[in-house]
Amino acid sequence: MCSHRKETELPSSSRNRKRREKAQRRSVNLLTILGCIAGAFCLVVVLACVVGATWLMGLPDYSGISSYANTGITTIYANDRETVLAKLYLENRIEISQDEVSEYVLEGTVATEDERFYEHGGIDPIGIARAVIVNAASGGTSEGASTITQQLVRNTVLLDEMTDRSIRRKVREMYIASQVERQYTKDEILMMYINVVNYGDGCYGIEAASRDYFGKHASELTLSEAALLIGIPQSPNAYNPREHMDKAMARRAVVLQRMLSNGYITQTEYDDALNDTPVLSDQTLDDETISDIAPYFIDYVRKQLDEDERFPATIIAHGGLSVYTTLDPSLQEDANTAIQEGVRYNDENFDAALVSVDPDTGEIVAMVGGRDYATNKFNLATQMSRQAGSAFKTFTLLSALNEGMDPDNTYVESASPVQIGKDWTVSNSEGHGYGPMSVSDATRSSVNTVFAQLVHAIGAQKTIDAAQACGIKSTLVQDDTVTLGTSGVNPLEMASAYATIANGGYYHEPYAVTEIVTAGGETVYTHETEPGKRTLSAAVAQKATDILETVISSGTGTGASLSNGQPCAGKTGTSEHGRDLWFCGFTPQYSTAVWAGYRTERETGLYGGTICAPIWRSFMNAALAGKPIEQFPTTSEKISYKPARTWDFTKDVTIIGGDDEDPSESSSSSSSSSSSSSSSAASSSASSTSSSSGGNEKPDPEPAPDPGGDEKPASE
């Protein structure tokens, strides 16, 4: 065996030759691979250079100091494109020098935004590496890598590319940042940055922010105040202390911690500042010129230009624009007069708001956000969230029509009070009931107990769906009380929602800006008029309009009847104890919502029909003066009605009260009142639940509650 193995073995020289050949082949393969890698690397470098050079073509001018200080007065016009509503800096900018700002601001900005600012040349490789590691570990983008110099470039020279998230934009930004570092000192760059960065509330630059939030110069800021402002630029809207103080304070804590860890403040200073609560100024930084005709509308437009993604924020920030709006100056004057006249007999703290939109387009033609802009700039027309009261019953009516309910021939018991389920007890005005009532009559007279049973039988979600389809965007209460307006809404969305009914079922997003033109004449934004989104069938919109016309002609909204005979429709609303008063109504030309009450919620004892309906009437009479009468749109479509027995109005319903023998007499005590019911019905517990007969059939004789009197809030 051994001798045989030796005979088959190759000589050592042959084996060595084979090994050498194999090693040579491996060397050749390795060299080939390395050569390919080197070639590929060179190709990548070449391509990167070519691409990089291409990316750097067409760079904006970054050589002059003016490139880092954007200014320009913007003019806002009415819909006639001539009437000047405002001349203002869309961004309040006040440039200051280094000796005019608190050291806390300078040190805190560096510690928070770019702690290696004085060590790098505009680009921070260490910061980039750290950001990559942190973001990889967190699975997000929690850590940024942009230096202060890069942010300066992004907010000025490359402002037009700010929203571009591509590598190309980043390369351009980094290149210019490196050049800026060669042109200016670190202190100059830092001052340029804090003079242009967005501090929220329309303020650009630390001096404007300091005056706006604290009513003092930037040189006078305390550590606590400075830290609060330093934290804002990361997210100017989210960290605006006027709107989100809790988030702003949390961000301030981060700023203070970074100032401490970087040695800019002591532990004692940190502790004292952390325990201090900054007090904001009541007065914001004034604009140059704002017409007193529509100050709340201007604020609304300005806020949209500053925050709305539909507008090119990168262009807006340059200023020097002509902004054309939807506001009709004549209608605005009418709205101002109607509000002032409507509240003149109430105390000085009683307030009101009005919004009117064109149903066919969504154009906001008039907006009043309060009786006195000088004393309170909070816009009640767009920023508040208050209960709609019975003005919200309209959406339950729409849901019933959508479901195929015949409002003229479906009857529901109107006894007062009634208990829905175990926990909700609902009453009518003065506690009166009128026997079985048709849904149409219950809408005309705004009967709480009928609508409570109606929404319970159909489902609260159907009311919510109808409201949202019409344009209500506020969060809505997810239970039966939604029909009585327990959710907070604002006049703008209510005017828009009722406009959907007015135009035959098409929803148009309300808008205020039609066009934006730069100082050089370039149109950078044009509102694209769309045909509208059908959210209601034409038949449903028409039937709802017919019923809501009776609210004004013979129901709770008689105070809104127009003097020229123009067809009109609407609904009154009064929240619990009269805290919120409403009238929402429309003609073919305009949909208008009016709210009245106190900015700080309190009882008024008043009704929407006695306050808001006359304001609506005053405005609409003036708005329509001299204009031809128009008719609501009609359709040959028909609603496919279902039998009344389709719905069980007795399920989980307990009739507690009874019906009045003489409805007319029983409601005469409130005959001077012409508003709707409350929104917030009081809840109470009951030990038992029983059913009483529902109103599926027409009674004999037909009940006839006095339409002149409005129901009292359910819990009163």
Most confident stretch, 245-249, 306-310, 517-521, 686-690? 245-249
List pLDDT tens digits, range 397-443: 999 999 999 999 999 999 999 999 988 999 997 788 989 999 999 99
Q: Which of 390, 446, 674, 679 is flagged as catalytic?
A: 390
Residue 164, token pair as written in the block: 């571009």
DSSP type of residue 363: B
Residue 66 has pLDDT above 90, yes or no: no
CA distances from 362 to 491, 512, 576 (A): 14, 9, 31
To which H or E segment does residue 493 belong? helix 491-502
Contact between 419 and 690 (Cβ < 8 Å): no
What pLDDT score was predicted for residue 60? 55
Contact between 561 and 568 (Cβ < 8 Å): yes
- 312-347 burial string, b = 16+ CB within 10 Å, else e? bbbbbbbbbbbbbbbbbbbbbebbbebbeebbeebe
- The answer, as to whether pTM is greater than 0.85, is no
DSSP type of residue 476: -
Residue 686, token pair as written in the block: 């009951």
CA-wise closest residue to 359 among 243, 497, 242: 497
Cα 586 versus chain centre, distance: 24
Q: Which of 91, 113, 207, 549 is flagged as catalytic?
A: 113
Contact between 487 and 474 (Cβ < 8 Å): yes
Neighbours of 59 (CB within 10 A): 13
List pLDDT tens digits, range 10-30: 455 554 555 445 445 544 455
Residue 550 has pLDDT above 80, yes or no: yes
Cα–Cα distance between 260 and 274 in angstroms, integer? 11
List pLDDT tens digits, range 308-353: 777 766 566 666 789 999 999 999 999 999 999 999 888 889 999 9
HEC readout, 39-63: HHHHHHHHHHHHHHHHHCCCCCCCC
What pLDDT score was predicted for residue 531? 82
Residue 549 has pLDDT above 50, yes or no: yes
Contact between 331 and 623 (Cβ < 8 Å): yes
Verify whether residue 113 is a known catalytic residue: yes
Residues 6+ apart with CB under 8 A from 12: none
Residue 633, token pair as written in the block: 């749109």
- 215-230 burial string, b = 16+ CB within 10 Å, else e? eebbeebbbbbbbbbb
Neighbours of 184 (CB within 10 A): 17
Residue 417 phi, psi (nearest 5): -85, 170
